């Protein structure tokens, strides 16, 4: 295997597991590395023309003005890319992040990031893609109320401010997504795209009602349901202690007695979210926090492509 091949794969940070990403450095560096690798993958995909709509670069074509070749990208990839200068699309996107206490949990802190870490870096990467598209992006962080808000704007400075705001978020408080969604719906004057990033440990029906209200108001809605692998499967131990970080309650159970019932309950909960949101024309995706960011970014781009 050549050094060039190994180096190329190393640049595809969008395909790296979260543990490897966490070793890269700060949020800005991670997000840039992830997006650069992701866009590079799009250029190599069979979806010709797709990446030109969503990146600030596209593959060089005969007759393109040589003044706009990105020589830094050529040095990294041995391929020619042309810088794109597109007018703003006028899409407004709002990233809504759950920062409740449950988001600060990891089933394996030595190997896995918390759900909040994953949410922050996913939001930073989405924000970078949005601003590169010429779209406007804003952010709201919430637990039982909105604790931070950034109005939607475009440009590099907006993304830098978004990363700064994301970096200072800490988990805390009980989850009340329905209150944050209702407040957001009342504040949004123009139709746009609302992206909810949460572990959905919420009051389900109230949250679904609030999401449907946003959709009824004409907003496009995309829900990323973050799940730690420890939430999908009980540990192999004979007994387990369940702890609710929001109510501080504990319950000790025999794992063997409840394993199958627990699996069925998780499957049923996911199926109900998927079914109920699909009926409301709301996009829903489960995102496992031990998986790379690339699938979530692809899901966003499919949504964005439909919006034109």
Domains in the chain with CATH codes: 3-83 (no CATH), 92-307 (3.40.50.410)
Choice between 31 and 259, residue whose per-residue pLDDT is larger = 31
pLDDT of residue 253: 62
Q: What is this structure's pTM?
A: 0.80
pLDDT of residue 5: 40
For the chain, the average pLDDT equals 83
Residue identified by tokens 């604790």 is: 147
Contact assessment for residue 93 and residue 193, using Cβ atoms and an 8 Å cutoff: yes
Section 93-101 average pLDDT: 96
The model's confidence at residue 170, banded by pLDDT at 50, 70 and 90, is very high
Helix (H) / strand (E) element for 133: namely helix 115-133
pLDDT of residue 134: 84
pLDDT of residue 74: 72
The model's confidence at residue 78, banded by pLDDT at 50, 70 and 90, is confident
Residue identified by tokens 């109900």 is: 272
Burial code (b: 16+ CB inside 10 Å, e: under 16) for 91-111 equals bbbbbbbbbbbbbebbbeeee
The model's confidence at residue 225, banded by pLDDT at 50, 70 and 90, is very high
Q: Is 80 exceeded by the pLDDT of residue 102?
A: yes
Section 123-149 average pLDDT: 93
pLDDT of residue 80: 74
Say which residues have a Cβ less than 8 Å from residue 298's Cβ, sequence separation at least 6: none
pLDDT of residue 174: 86
Can you tell me the distance from the alpha carbon of 117 to that of 198, in angstroms, rounded to the nearest whole number?
Answer: 12
Share of the chain above pLDDT 90, in %: 54
Q: Is 90 exceeded by the pLDDT of residue 281?
A: yes
């Amino acid at each position: 295997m050549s050094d060039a091949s190994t180096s190329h794969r190393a640049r595809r940070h969008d395909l790296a597991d979260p543990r490897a990403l966490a070793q890269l450095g700060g949020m800005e560096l991670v997000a840039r590395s992830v997006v650069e690798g992701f866009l590079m993958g799009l250029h190599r995909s069979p979806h010709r023309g797709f990446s030109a709509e969503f990146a600030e670069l596209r593959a060089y074509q005969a007759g393109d003005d040589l003044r706009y070749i990105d020589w830094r990208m050529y040095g990294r990839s041995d391929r020619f890319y042309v810088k794109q200068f597109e007018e703003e699309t006028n899409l407004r996107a709002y990233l809504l992040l759950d920062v409740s206490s449950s988001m600060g949990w990891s089933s394996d802190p030595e190997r896995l990031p918390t759900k909040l870490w994953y949410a922050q870096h996913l939001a930073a990467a989405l924000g970078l893609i949005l601003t590169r598209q010429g779209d406007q992006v804003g952010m709201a962080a919430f637990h039982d109320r909105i604790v931070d808000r950034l109005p939607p704007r475009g440009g590099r400075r907006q993304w830098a401010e978004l990363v700064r705001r994301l970096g200072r978020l800490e988990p805390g408080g009980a989850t009340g997504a329905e209150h944050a969604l209702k407040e957001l719906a009342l504040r949004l004057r123009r139709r746009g795209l609302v992206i909810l990033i949460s572990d959905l440990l919420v009051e389900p029906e109230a949250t679904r009602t609030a999401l449907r209200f946003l959709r009824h108001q004409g907003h496009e809605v995309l829900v990323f349901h973050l799940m730690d692998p420890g939430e999908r499967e009980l540990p192999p131990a004979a007994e387990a202690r369940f702890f609710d970080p929001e109510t501080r309650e504990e319950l000790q159970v025999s794992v063997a007695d409840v394993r199958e019932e627990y699996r069925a309950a998780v499957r049923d909960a996911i199926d109900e979210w998927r079914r109920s949101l699909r009926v409301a024309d709301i996009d829903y995706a489960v995102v496992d926090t031990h998986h790379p960011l690339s699938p979530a970014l692809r899901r966003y781009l499919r949504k964005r492509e439909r919006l034109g």
